[in-house]
A and B are shown apart, each in its own frame.
Chain A
Amino acid sequence: MKRILRKTAAFFAAAVLTVCTQPFTAFADDEDDLKCPSSATVSSVISLLKKFDAYPDNIERSNKSSANVQLIFHGDEILYTRYYGCTNIEEHTLADENSVFEWGSISKTFVWVSIMQLWEQGKVDLETDIRTYLHDNFFEHLKYDDPITLMDIMNHKGGWCEKFYDSTSEDMAEMLSLEEALKNVEPAQTYRPGEVSSYSNWAAALAGLIVQRVSGMDYVDYVHKNIFEPLGMEHTSAGPDFTDNPWVREQRIKTICYEIELNNKYVESDDGLITEEIIEEYKSKGNCLFNDQIYPCGSITGTLGDLATYAQAFVNDDHPLFKNAETQEKLLSGSSFYGNTDIPSFSYGFDVKEYNYTRTFGHTGATFGCVANMEFDPVSKFGVVGLSNCRDDFPSSLCSYVFGRLKAKKYIGKNYEKFDLTPYSGYYSDTRTHAAGLGKFILYMDAFSIDNINAVKVADKVFLEYHSEDYYDDTIFGIVEHSDGRRGIVNSCSEYLEIKYYIPKLCLLAGFMICGIASLFILLAKRKLNKAGKATPLSFAHIITAGQFAKIVSLAAIISIVVIRIKGDNDGLTKTEGMVIGITQIVCMVLCVLALLASAYSFIAKKKLPYGKIRSLSCFTGNLITVSAMIFFEMYNFWCC
């Protein structure tokens, strides 16, 4: 199996490199032959892909793998379609044109298109405060009074990080309305609106609610009427429970989702040699239906053909989704840029990706069981779409054939210069990570230094992260400076924000953990001394002991947050789980404060005890560190996170 995988991977990699590294002339057998943005001719790419599809090992593997379906188009013409793998491996159901997959975050582009449609009708203004379109007092956790505009939300600059609480619903019949669901899991606003890019599913769904309120139609109905119907997308559903399209529901239930597990196995070869090999095995996850109550952020489900139809609309000069050509042009003209360049980092909710010779727009998507990709180049009119029912198998392999790659040597030229990141040295963390409430400590666990990153200069404050290995594409980043003096490193709508005084803060977190572990040792030692009748307790010994128990419980509580999140595929905690953990932390904090006061009293009391002063002082320090960490990392705050 490993050999098969190796051969296939080698063949595939060689094919990509062959196509993408050859000069124009290598494929230019026919001067009139259509060329992809990668410089390769369409006929050579398709011929290569067909050879790859006909590879015997590949055909054999297709019957045992999860589905990975991809399509290349040029304008309104479909150039190549590849249905590979199974939608149900156990029943050997091969993927075909009727297979449906969840499109995940590509659904957000439907919200952005809807917003732009309403904008061209004059029903919404992209620069007006969104509170104009919502009920009074809709927001409960706003930190800043600054207006939040639709433009901010489209650029993921509303100031919200990712929601902390789970918004999925097991029983879709009992699901809340979109407005109630949004209010129920409103995240803390952690950044000033319009400044920091912080990808937010919640904010995208909020924009869906605005579409609903401004248009006066249910969001699902709006999408059907204004997007699906004009494009003829009959095999796509927008509702969270697929009630808007029973055919899609029926097809979606047939699709099983998978994850890849790597297992070591001993395999005997023909000559009797036993070798250890790593085997990829597809583990079924069941249907894995997307059941998020804030559905506009990821509920669209449909076929590959319909995804292609949708993507083709953006390269169509007849602008079928908009009344005016200017609206489509504006949508794909870039809404935020790298430094002072004209290279867009993001475009009205659409991801922008740089290649050596072209620039694509689109979006990626991932739900609990499916992954999706949509990329198109409005200039050359080429596009690639892909869907898969395995989260570990992202369907974007054809993009490099069509669009090429991003490598510094080609993008900037051979005489590229190094970009000095020393002035920006420090620790950075992804802004999508929680920065308030119960999960705030996670931000400090995810931070990283940029000191060891190889960077080459593109422009002032714009650089490429450079990989010497040919296999990896380089990535473009821009540096931004915010009003509070913090710096951020931006790629598309992702931003890595500098954490000021990271080391002291991390020391506080480490101190909190050490205090929890030390308390365990102290309690064990106390038990031993008590049994031997040699304990010489400090004043208010019971309170101090309770404080030591509290430190251990508090440490266990923060660990449980991460455990619950990882176990649930990062869906978040339920409100009840959050409340239990938050109240536990409050009780622990009260006990630690009492223990802090008790140890302070012991220190100043005149009672003579063996090592009394040292014990009181260490107890005081431990409680002080724990309480400080609990307050700084907001471990108690379960209501606004």
Chain B
Amino acid sequence: MKKIIDLMRVDLISVKGGNKGIFFLILAFTAIFVVIGMLSEALFMALSIVVLGVLLVPFITMAEKTHNAGKIFTVIPTDRKSIVISRFTLTTVIYTVFSVIIFIIFHIMEKFSDFHNNAISKDVRNLYETKNGFGTGIQIKALENSIFWFIFAVTLMIMAGQHRRYFKNGISSKKNSLLRSFLKILGGIALVYAVAAVIIFIFNIDILKPALIVLVNMIFALAAPMNGLLLSITLIFIGFGFTLYQLVCSVVDYEAREL
């Protein structure tokens, strides 16, 4: 355990010598989304955790690119498994703690902000109020909580994917890798849409519709009780489960890699 904590310290020290611009970029984006959330729909705050999550891994590995700090891991007396575990733990802990803080602020803003309840949330609220009654299980608060933790889980999975790419291939030597990682995410989303469109085109939407309804039914059943806590736990479990899987794969890939 001490070894892993020490390795996390190494990472934090190397971050200090990294590019300050990215740090301020993360800070600025986070602040913008938090302010937007405070002024309009509190759920916008969830975008700040996306910004942090997506930029955190490139930010921590940036020193390796700018100052060749990666070499340090080849000289310190440690095994590669510990390096992988420490890196995963560091980013996951920072991201989780930050997300929990944002979640708390999100709930405080929901209760106390006079600015809250603007056009978007009012529309959503109206929709649910008019449909409120027997047979409608999900409430707006449950929906908001579930959306927040869904965003958390997806971002956590993206982070785990970034880690694995890093441990498998090393840091990209190309310039603008941050921009590239963003574009890759966008490309990934486009690819998912394209594949979905092809599947729908080939197999006919009528076959997919029931499967989608089942999925939505299950999600709504889990989201309804305890203000969405059950669905949130499920989503968090999926996020951490995927991270654990990527951790195992990263250990294997990193140990097999020529440094």
One of A448, A475, A562, A567 near B137 (C-beta < 8 A) = A448
Is B256 an interface residue, CB under 8 A from the partner?
yes
CB neighbors of A among B147-169 (8 A): none
Residues of B close to A524: CB separation below 8 A? 245, 249
Residue of A nearest to B137 (CB): A448
Tell whether B105 is near chain A: CB-to-CB under 8 Å.
no
Size bin of chain B's contact surface: 35 or more
A513, B252: Cβ atoms closer than 8 Å: no
Question: Looking at the complex, which one of B132, B137, B234 makes contact with A447 (CB distance below 8 Å)?
Answer: B137
Interface size class, chain A: 35 or more
Instruction: Among A449, A452, A534, point to the contact of B252 (Cβ < 8 A).
Output: A534
Please name the residue on chain A nearest to B229 by beta carbon.
Answer: A503
- CB-nearest residue of chain B to A496: B134
**28 A-B Cβ contacts within 8 A?**
A430-B135, A445-B218, A445-B221, A447-B224, A448-B135, A449-B137, A449-B224, A450-B134, A453-B132, A465-B133, A475-B133, A477-B134, A503-B226, A503-B230, A506-B222, A506-B230, A510-B234, A514-B237, A525-B249, A528-B248, A532-B255, A559-B214, A562-B210, A562-B213, A562-B214, A563-B211, A566-B214, A567-B206
Q: Does A507 contact B (CB under 8 A)?
A: yes
* Chain B residues with CB below 8 A from A496, complex form: 134
Known contacts A448-B224, A502-B225; decide if A528 and B252 are in contact (CB<8 Å).
yes
> What is the bound-complex CA distance between A536 and B221, given in angstroms?
39
Contact of B136 with A by CB under 8 A? yes
Chain A, Cβ-Cβ closest to B215: A559
Binary A-proximity of B226-247 (CB < 8 A = 1, otherwise 0): 1000100110011001101100
Which residues of A approach B to under 8 Å, CB–CB?
427, 430, 444-450, 452-454, 465, 467, 469, 472, 475, 477, 489, 491, 496, 502-503, 506-507, 510, 513-514, 517-518, 521-522, 524-525, 528-529, 531-532, 534, 559, 562-564, 566-567
Task: Name which residue of chain A comes closest to B126, CB basis.
Answer: A469
- Chain A residues within 8 Å of B241, by CB: 517-518, 521
Which residues of chain B have C-beta atoms less than 8 A from A475's C-beta?
A: 133-134
Are A525 and B245 in contact (CB-based, < 8 A)?
yes
Complex CA gap A447/B217 in Å reads 11
Residues of A within 8 A of B237 (CB): 514, 518
| A532-B252, A562-B214 given; A510·B222 CB < 8 A | yes
The residues of B that contact A522 with a CB separation of less than 8 Å are 245
Q: Is B130 part of the binding interface, using a Cβ–Cβ cutoff of 8 Å?
A: yes
Q: Contact: B225 with A452, CB < 8 Å?
A: no
A454 to B209: give the CA distance in the assembly, Å.
33
Nearest 4 pairs of A and B residues by beta carbon: A448-B137, A566-B210, A445-B221, A521-B245
- Given the interface contacts A496-B134, A506-B230, A525-B249, does A444 sit within 8 Å of B221 by beta carbon? yes
- Whether the Cβ atoms of A503 and B225 lie closer than 8 Å is yes
